Amino acid sequence: MNRPDNHILVIFGGRGDLAMRKIVPALYALYSEHLMPERFAVVATGRTGVTDEAYRGEVKKAIGGASGIKVSVTEDSLLPGADKTASAAAERSGANADEFVSLFHYIDFDTSVAGDYRRLPDFLEVIRQKFNIGGNILFYLSVPPDLYEVIPRNLAQQGLNNEGDGWKRMIIEKPFGYDYRSAGKLNRTLLETWSESQIFRIDHYLGKETVQNILVTRFSNGIFEPLWNRNYVHHVEITSSETLGVEMRGSYYEGSGALRDMVQNHLLHLVGFVAMEPPSSIDSTSIRNELVKVFESLRPISIDEVHKRTIRGQYTGAHVRGEWLKGYREEVNVDPVSMTETFAALKFNIDNWRWGGVPFYVRTGKRLPTRVTEAVIHFKPTPHYLFSGESLCDGCNQLIIRIQPDEGILLKFGMKIPGAGFKVKNVNMDFHYSDLAAERIPEAYERLLYDCMKGDSTLYTRSDAVMAAWKFLDPVLEAWKNDSSIPVYGYPAGTWGPEKADDLIEEPELTWRYPCKNLAEDGVYCEL
């Protein structure tokens, strides 16, 4: 991997939670691995006036920094929730924290005021001259969604979208729109002043190693791809569960819910990687073309079918391992009679030659028993089960792709139990990314930032994919909003969601896969 072009990175909202917990540590990890440009500078913006030195102190704390040659990896030097991987990488490479933070600069102005943007070109020119950097600029919009139209338009008015002196790129965080209509409006507004090739819509799930490995598992192994179709696959199941509630994000979550927050972006893209056809080559255009084809092949869920094909739920208060966890409606900034879903499950089909007749099941929820994201390929059973008189191989023939937290791949199949007779036992053949002790698994934001700096949009979402995903989910959102006969099922915190979700699975003898039946006391994933 070679270094990107020299450029200036401008972080709007550079003192915010996302910038300090994810973006800054990711930049430092890239810097420690010698994957940043030879010459670069970071400019952060914010409304509060602080000096460069004061801001650099915040940056050093964000990366777990301490004075000296190396970064000290200690608990008290890290921001709450900060990832240690950047600091660990720095210790191995001996990266100089002071040298890194010296490249950060701060400018205060109000991003909602058009006149304030007039100061930015001159400020960037001073930085460009100081570090001998050309005209390449990467803008990162780590700001609330209501600024996604405002900032690009004002940057364009100052000519900062003009690529005459070097490339100009812009990273936009999710949520990209609130529904199909708002996403379309945002797209049209952006494309008035910026080209599609300049816009990078980030989805951090696509930066995870295991998501990218889905392509390798499928397309580099002759034993999997021939079976990856309706002839051999019974159904596909994707789960993303969290043990946490909404915490202090109640005001955001009230306007979002599980369907918008997780399904529209993260989980539908996992579906896309699992279901896509082999691309003609491993390049951005080819891969994203195949993803869009999957989204456009999703069989529409009509408003009349929503109550049959979807389940929504909301966690209620419960004791979990001796601790009382309050319900969603008791959380801060949540309406006491809120109908916002914290759990969503869907059943749908992909109408194409490969997947015709194969049901896909997707679920996500908060306050579930464990934190895990996985895609499960359930293969069809043998047409004649010889050993059913002795024992049924429950859960056999599953390929489980673990996205987080214990990244890996697990294959489940039946084996004979030693002794008389033919009793069958379910066994696992597994691989953990952590077994690659000599390799460091980069954080998702590291990979995505590096790719954008290189101009590689493979793992970023294209506008037509965003619109296709919203088009598919819009009837569900409309029905949930307007049809009072569709219930919001309560489920106690610490359980796997509403029991009614089992009814989505077509065969009565089948149910969702419960990843950790014997949950460890610390709540970590325990299947692998």
Q: Which residues are marked as active site?
A: 266
Distance in angstroms (rounded) separating the CA atoms of residues 474 and 486: 16
Taking alpha carbons only, the member of 344, 304, 367, 351 closest to residue 489 is 344
Antiparallel, parallel or unpaired: β 310-316 and 233-241: unpaired
Bond prior to 4 in cis (omega within 30° of 0): no
Whether the CB-CB separation of 59 and 87 falls below 8 Å is answered with no
Alpha carbon 256 to its chain's center: 16
Sheet strands side by side (includes 168-172):
104-108, 40-46, 7-12, 137-141, 168-172, 199-201
Question: Any alpha helices (H) in 380-523, and if so which ranges?
Answer: 444-454, 463-482
- By the 8 A CB rule, do 371 and 236 touch? no
Strands 359-365, 233-241: pairing is: parallel
Dump the DSSP string for 211-275: HHHHHHHHHS-TTTGGGSSTTTEEEEEEEEE-S---TT-HHHHHTTHHIIIIIIIIIHHHHHHHH
145 prior amide bond cis, ω within 30: no
Angle at CA 338, nearest 5°, toward 337 and 341?
145
SS3 21: helix
Pair type for strands 424-432 and 408-416: antiparallel
Amino acid at 228: W
Cα(106)–Cα(11) distance, integer angstroms? 10
Task: Name the E strands within 267-342.
Answer: 310-316, 318-320, 323-325
The values of phi and psi at residue 424, to 5°, are -105, 135
* Pairing outcome for strands 199-201 and 168-172: parallel
| 8 A C-beta contact, residue 367 and residue 243 | yes
Whether the Cβ atoms of residue 284 and residue 456 lie closer than 8 Å to each other: yes
